[in-house]
Amino acid sequence: MTSPTCIALPKIRFERGFLAGRAQLVRDVVIPFQWEALNDRVPGAERSGTVNNFQIAAGEKEGKFHGYWFQDSDLAKWIEAASFGLATHPDAALDAELDGIIATIGKAQQPDGYLDTYIQLKEPHMKWANLFEYHELYIAGHFIEAGVAHFEATGKRTLLAIVCKLADMIERTFGLGAEQIPGYCGHEEVELALVKLARATGEKRYAQLAAYFINQRGVAPLYYEAELKRLKFEKLPVYFHADGWDYLQGSRPVRDLVDPVGHSVRMMYLATAMADLALALPDESLRKSCETLWDNLTRYHLYITGGIGSEWMGEKFAERYDLPNDRAYAESCAGIGLVFWARRMLDLSLRGAYADVMERALYNNVLAGMALDGKTFFYVNPLEMRPAEAKRRYDQHYIKTQRVPWFGCACCPPNIARTLTSLGYHTHSVLPDGLAVHLYADCRLEATMGGKKTNFALHTDYPWDGAVKLEVSPAQPVTFTLRLRLPGWCTAPTAKLNGTAVDFAAKVCDGYLYLAREWRAGDVVTLDFPMTIQRIRAHPAVHHDAGCVALQRGPMVFCVEQADNGAQLGQLRLPKNAPLTARFEAGFLGGALVIEGPGQRVQAPSDELYSTTEPTVTPATIKAVPYCLWNNRGEGEMRVWIRES
């Protein structure tokens, strides 16, 4: 499981509603589609080569390795997503497909446990020799996660045995012993995976191995410096740019990090592992470091959509407040990493602020990465799009003006799939004395409260409507505490218990409503989170957003698109006193809420590039749609931040 407080996936069912629809899309469409992509059977998509590489390494066919040195991880993430799908919705055909590819992986694994088709097929002399650049431990981490997910979903130990053999090999290879390598991976991932493996197997040594990787990282003398000399590199790769070893969080011990630095996905996986170990060991110094990093990330480096990592060169964090919109990187994988980290932080301290960010990233940045048909994807998630410029400018060459079926570097699509098939890990926590609800989605779940089986049914049309009804049905009367998140965006939440209003005065702590009592079958809690249209303004230091507002309703951030508002969206103005209305359109973008209101369009007084003449202003109707649904009607301009007049 993601954390020890997670509900086992078979115990929670999402059967209707917004998130349930996305999860079903992944099961029914995305997982089969991505399997075809991994097998190079999607016409018009970039070649993956991933399954083919394993078949070659297994001796099942002849050929040459295709792709990047991290290509194997795409398959691992797909296996994890498919396993999560099996956990909630058994599928004999998918189960058999997994058995087949796992058998191939087993044959590809070397006798000592090593597994990396790039090294095995292309550069066998480089085994563990280029840790800062190659992704051997990163790939191992993703396969370990897949092995744990497959075991927990099916009870089969086939893949679990493979990854335990791999982890044992890593344990023998890395450490401070005389015959060991005192290194660590350039792309963090194995650390959080080893904590999962320790939890699944009961082998604490795997968590200790994760702690070694965390504690050794950035310790002087730097392992990477010695490796660089041994490889005879004259300088670091160009994507390190001005960061040096900070690019991979390796210039100093992790407890000395204050701001998130370097490659954003690596930073998130590192922070997730730090939070895991802070809880598992426990380690108070790691907890404090996580809190410092979290506070500075959310204060200085977070897009309103929950995206992170604003610099394209190296896919990394930039300076504080440097959050450009049309050049935003905001990689889908980074947003997913933020969701993972936020969920772990909730285990360290039940603070609504962590769940607020988890919700913001999930509903906006992560969901924007996948089209409504489940067959095309974004890797990069800008907050402003002008297609002609994006296609022409080199500093936007990485931005796709429309989602595509697959990528040569396809880390994001299967990452989105595994996130949406494991929603139950993120929505709730089972605590020693009760249940915490972090994200509101229509679902049914079963958990043990005070030693007694207890069923919960949560009914809601969230995120379109803030009304929530929670039915509690214990097998017998039982005392426990129900903790219900009060979303940070809501200014006037209310609650009732069996029809009686709840006084929040003594029952709210750090953004959660605490209801401690003896619960009986038939008890009902109703919550109301009024969803008003909010105009959000950025800190003045974010100069990219000066004079602009973003529209938000509930957890959803909205944007304007060319399809509704015409071209040249930068010419739109939203008057400060303009009344805005929200309405739900059942047949629009799969059923979505839109925001409309009177605006203005600024037009040039002449063809002159510069003029002393005031521009003309004409009335215009502004229509905004949820950011996560943009670009589902063809190529066109898009803008989150609207100029205010």
Q: Which residues are catalytic?
A: 315, 411
Amino acid at 352: G
CA distances from 395 to 312, 313, 327 (A): 8, 9, 7
Task: Provide the CA 558 distance to its chain's centre, in angstroms.
Answer: 19
- Fill in the DSSP letter of residue 113: S
d(CA 47, CA 58): 20
Looking at the DSSP assignment, which residues form a beta bridge with residue 533? 553
Within 89-222, residue ranges assigned H as helices are: 92-108, 117-121, 136-154, 158-173, 190-201, 204-216
d(CA 174, CA 128): 10
Q: Are strands 512-519 and 508-509 parallel, antiparallel or unpaired?
A: antiparallel
Within 70-135, residue ranges assigned H as helices are: 72-88, 92-108, 117-121
Q: Are strands 548-553 and 616-626 parallel, antiparallel or unpaired?
A: unpaired
Q: Which residue has the tokens 């304007």?
A: 560
Q: Which residue has the tokens 């409504």?
A: 372
* Tokens describing residue 573: 């103005």
* Tokens describing residue 397: 């060459």
Contacts of 20-24 with CB under 8 Å at 24 or more apart are 20/441, 20/442, 20/443, 21/590, 22/367, 22/370, 22/420, 23/420, 23/421, 23/423
Q: What stretch of H or E contains 23?
A: helix 18-25
Q: Three-state SS for 626?
A: strand
Length of the chain: 645
